[in-house]
Structure 1
Amino acid sequence: MQKHEGQIWVESCLGEGSTFYVTDRAEGDSMTQSKRILIIDDEDDIRAVVQVSLEEFGGWQTIPAASGIEGLAIARSEVPDAILLDVSMPDFDGYQVFEALQQNARTQAIPVIFLTAKVLPSDRQQFASLQIAGVITKPFDPTLIWQEVGLILGWTT
């Protein structure tokens, strides 16, 4: 709470019950308020860890998708503020999803951050040739991924 300049307090009335209050500076911060991030990753554990980090530490809303096809459908219908996209997925990989997003007028402006274990120079060159917002390599620190996302997107300092 101190990190977010928040407060916790309780108001209690005998016989009526207690009300617990929690405030967080991020709630009123226009840079983070109501940001929605679509997380597309076929690995349940990765999706869950990223979701918790972005929601709890970043204060953002998340929308999980377990496949490229599901993620693409959600992106087209929900038009999130950003997308975290796994590069290696079995049905429709990150490159295919990204290409489809770029071909759709509703989704082409959504910033996309690749999540990947690919770190070879040839992989980096391929990423650089795309119009993606950034790349976060796996494994990542679950307590810091929200900061990486925020820095890449310019939502945090």
Structure 2
Amino acid sequence: MPPENLKRILMVEDEPDIRTVAELALEAIGGFELTACESGQQALEQIEECRPQLIVLDVMMPGMDGPATLKAIRSLPDYARTPAVFMTAKVQSDEVQSYLELGAAGVIPKPFDPLTLADQIRDIWNEACAIG
């Protein structure tokens, strides 16, 4: 059975410039419905409303960082298995491995290419659905 099409993405990114570029890349180029949040707390407040199929998290954020946000999201029964992707400048192999061990479906290095971001996310989604 082919994976369902990815439509709704929740993105958590504290940098407004990066959020803007990612919104363009994912909505205008990728055709996704994107809910962009500037903090983990805001993501937790909005998750029920946007019902994401995939979550994109910045690793380094003030207050609640990406791993803490993912842990909080995983405690919500409806989102315990929602695929999550970390976006980070910290992409040493041991760092990437630690994100995967936290339950991330993939890691996208920053700075990302806005023209290929949607495809990268789609690839991770298809892989996550195949493993399911």
Give me the TM-score of the superposition, normalised by structure 2.
0.86
1:59 equivalent to 2:31? Answer: yes
Output one character per residue of 1:58-79: Cα deviation in whole Å (capped at 9) or x when no partner. Answer: 1111111011110122124432
**Match for 2:99 among 113, 118, 127?**
127
State the one-letter code of the partner of 1:72: L
Output one character per residue of 1:38-83: Cα deviation in whole Å (capped at 9) or x when no partner. Answer: 1100000111111111111111111110111101221244321111
CA distance in 1, matches of 2:88, 2:101: 16
Structure 2 residue ranges without an equivalent (≥5): 128-132
CA distance in 1, matches of 2:96, 2:52: 26
CA distance in 1, matches of 2:5, 2:96: 29
Q: In structure 2, do the counterparts of structure 1 residues 31 and 104 end up closer, same or farther at CA, with 3 Å as the change threshold?
A: closer
RMSD over aligned Cα, in angstroms? 1.6
The structure that has the greater radius of gyration is: 1
CA distance in 1, matches of 2:104, 2:68: 13
After TM superposition, give the deviation of residue 128 of structure 1 in Å: 2.6
Q: Which residue of 2 aligns with 1:97?
A: 69
Whose helix fraction is larger, Structure 1's or Structure 2's? 2
Give me the TM-score of the superposition, normalised by structure 1.
0.73
Structure 1 residue ranges without an equivalent (≥5): 1-29
Matched position secondary structure for 1:113:
strand
State the one-letter code of the partner of 1:131: G
1:114 equivalent to 2:86? Answer: yes
Whose strand fraction is larger, Structure 1's or Structure 2's? 1
CA distance in 1, matches of 2:120, 2:78: 25
State the one-letter code of the partner of 1:70: Q
Q: Relative contact order: is structure 1 or structure 2 higher (C-alpha 8 Å, sep ≥ 6)?
A: 2
State the one-letter code of the partner of 1:84: V
Moved over 6 A (4+): none
